[in-house]
Amino acid sequence: MITASATPPSPAQSPPIIEAKRLTKRFFGVSAVDGMSLTVGRQEMVGLIGPNGAGKTTMFSLIAGSLQPTSGELWISGREVSREAPEKRIGHGLARTFQIPKPFAEMSVLENLLVGGQQQHGEGLLANFLRPAAVRAQEKALIEKARGLLDFVTLSHLEHQPARVLSGGQRKLLELARVLMADPDVILLDEPAAGVNPALLEVIIERVFALNKQGKSILLIEHNMDMVSRLCTRVVAMALGRLLAEGTPSDVASNPAVIEAYLGGGA
């Protein structure tokens, strides 16, 4: 018998896609992140701000799994993943971009998307020998997907160019396309506006907005408050590894403790 409980939960009812509970990371006795909690709801776009050295990037590394917490817990979609490897978290729909993308400079823009390390039949010589048609079909599908994503990030015209010719902003767009190859549900975006010229910045803002509208949850580290307030409904501010304030972009930007942290470089 079908009951009401068989209905899939709405975004509002389902557990947060990211839930960090009292995360702490100490390096040689110094706490880069110190009892930090935050949540990102399904289809939510949350800004993570704070002065240099606040612990934002360390927080991303703890969420992505490239760093293990000294203490605290991390949950993805209601499942505890605190000790899981980064690859397993990717399998749970989590992706992360880097502040300074490092594409393979001599490979073409398209090839950079194809080396994304997806599970392919063609990975083994044996598979190539035994199932050549399946391998070819999968390669074709991957190329089509990569081309679609290059179109989405407005880089189609550069498909065959080596990645080294890309500007800083174009590298950010390629980085976005790279993580989209894995079909993530939630994306950790690390300073997508840094070093990007104003024209391309508008493209990045518009593309990030479109991804959120498509249903992707986003946690955005950004110093550009204009971008944060245009994109995010909720902002989390941290300083000295701790939560400082949380609320709407305008509430957080006018919070005296946040202003003091930016002026004084701490909290």
Measured from the CB atom, the residue of 3 and 52 that comes closer to ligand ATP is 52
Of residues 39, 30, 32, 38, the one with CA closest to residue 11: 39
Measured from the CB atom, the residue of 5 and 52 that comes closer to ligand ATP is 52
- Nearest residue (beta carbon) to ligand ATP: 32
Helix axes 132-152, 168-180, angle to 10 degrees: 140
Smallest separation, CB 240 to ligand ATP (Å): 8
Smallest separation, CB 32 to ligand ATP (Å): 3
- The label of the residue with tokens 């199932």 reads 131
Distance (Å, rounded) from C-alpha 156 to C-alpha 152? 8
Smallest separation, CB 197 to ligand ATP (Å): 21
Distance (Å, rounded) from C-alpha 156 to C-alpha 165? 14
Smallest separation, CB 31 to ligand ATP (Å): 8
Smallest separation, CB 70 to ligand ATP (Å): 12
* CB atoms inside a 10 Å sphere around CB 49: 27
Measured from the CB atom, the residue of 74 and 180 that comes closer to ligand ATP is 74
Measured from the CB atom, the residue of 60 and 181 that comes closer to ligand ATP is 60
* CB atoms inside a 10 Å sphere around CB 26: 14
Measured from the CB atom, the residue of 149 and 190 that comes closer to ligand ATP is 190
Contact 174, 112 (CB under 8 A): yes
- Return residues touching ligand ATP (CB under 6 A): 27, 32, 50, 52-58
Contact 146, 138 (CB under 8 A): no
